[in-house]
Amino acid sequence: MVQDGGSAGSGTVAAVLPIPSVSVCLPVYNGERFLAETIRSVLDQTYRDFELVVLDNGSTDQSGSIARSFADPRVRIERNRETLPQADNWNRVVELARGPLIKVVCADDLLHPRCLELQVAPMDSDPGLAVVAARRHMIDEQSRVIVPRRGLKGLIGVHTGVEVARRVVRSGSNPIGESNNVLFRRDDFFTVGGWKTDRANVMDIDLWLRLLQLGDFLGLPETLAAFRISSDSISSHSDEELYTQQRMLIEEIGDSPYFQVRGIDLAVGRALAPAGRARRRALYTLSKVASRGNGA
């Protein structure tokens, strides 16, 4: 049974089905191009005790119809009456979720079939973990891997929030990754205030660091997700804002009494930030070149 609800708490499925262990949240706005592939990657998980909450943010394309075409009882579809800003929409999709563990997947990204299996187990066995992350592939618009096994340099294994913050600052970027390769706890999400509306370009790393004030971090060596580099993505059009907000966040972390970031960490992070920006630009250029070559 697939539900198309109009507002939070408006549907009947949540009242009938048992609470799942995990909620995979999929916010979508005019994402018809890749949405079916993304949904299939979620439904193909080896771990089965989850719900998929698709929140249509007032799309004007076929996103809603594509989501409704999946006749799977784990799929629940909601639709906003009006289009919300990204952070507000992402907060709402977590509010709609019923599971104690949360994964947010963008409408053009992919999950490896064992992603939930390998991330849920350590969260269930260790209540002291606040965030579990895995490496991810960078893929192009044809779902080809352009950069394999990216992320978590120096972060494999269990680390405290202080250790992770120092690594983040030294990297000058986001070594943890985006929402699709991360699993976190719903209660923790609301405790720290969710996605921040004034940090649209660093929403992910900003949230991870706030969550890590509540518990530890586990970095898995496996590659369990794929982040799509496409010409339509928000990140491809906001390089300057992203760079500015990343540098502001690094300075904020450096000033935090909780994280105890050292002067050497800040110095290295400031020096490496331009290199991180250059790598990001190179990724988008590589994806564009690959896409043009495919269409030639």
How many angstroms separate the CA atoms of 234 and 252, rounded?
24
Are 42 and 55 part of one and the same domain?
yes
Q: What is the pLDDT of residue 241?
A: 85
Backbone CA torsion sign across 245, 246, 251, 257: positive
124-128, 142-146, 166-170, 289-293, range with the lowest pLDDT = 289-293
DSSP-assigned letter for residue 245: H
Residue 35: CA atoms inside 13 Å, Cβ hemisphere, count? 24
Domain of 50, in residue numbers: 1-108
Are 166 and 260 part of one and the same domain?
yes
Assess if residue 39 is contained within a domain: yes
Given the DSSP bridges, would you call strands 182-185 and 101-104 parallel, antiparallel or unpaired?
A: antiparallel
276 vs 129, more confident: 129
Assess if residue 199 is contained within a domain: no
Among candidate residues 262, 243, 266, 248, the one with its CA nearest the CA of residue 169: 266
Q: Give the number of other CB atoms < 10 A from CB of residue 220.
A: 20
User: Average pLDDT over the chain, rounded to whole?
Assistant: 89
Assess if residue 245 is contained within a domain: yes
Assess if residue 156 is contained within a domain: yes
Assess if residue 218 is contained within a domain: yes
Among candidate residues 163, 181, 175, the one with its CA nearest the CA of residue 222: 181
Residues paired with 22 in a beta bridge: 50, 101
Q: Which two tokens stand for residue 226?
A: 């794929």
Are 158 and 283 part of one and the same domain?
yes
Are 96 and 120 part of one and the same domain?
no
Q: What is the pLDDT of residue 272?
A: 82
CB 97 within 8 A of CB 104: no
Rounded percentage of the chain residues whose pLDDT exceeds 70 = 85
Query: Residues 200-228: pLDDT tens digits?
Result: 889 999 999 999 999 999 999 999 999 99
Q: Is 251 exposed, middle or buried (0-12, 13-18, 19+ CB in 10 A)?
A: middle
How many angstroms separate the CA atoms of 118 and 212, rounded?
20
Query: Residues 13-64: pLDDT tens digits?
Result: 444 679 999 999 999 999 999 999 999 999 999 999 999 999 999 999 999 9
AA letter at 158: V
Rounded percentage of the chain residues whose pLDDT exceeds 90 = 74
Assess if residue 163 is contained within a domain: yes
**Domain stops at, among 65, 80, 108:** 108
Q: What is the mean pLDDT of residues 227-250?
A: 76
Q: Is 33 exposed, middle or buried (0-12, 13-18, 19+ CB in 10 A)?
A: middle
Assess if residue 190 is contained within a domain: no
Number of H helices, E strands in the chain: 10, 11
Among candidate residues 89, 83, 75, the one with its CA nearest the CA of residue 44: 75
Q: What is the total count of domains within the chain?
A: 2
Are 26 and 130 part of one and the same domain?
no
Backbone CA torsion sign across 245, 192, 178, 260: positive
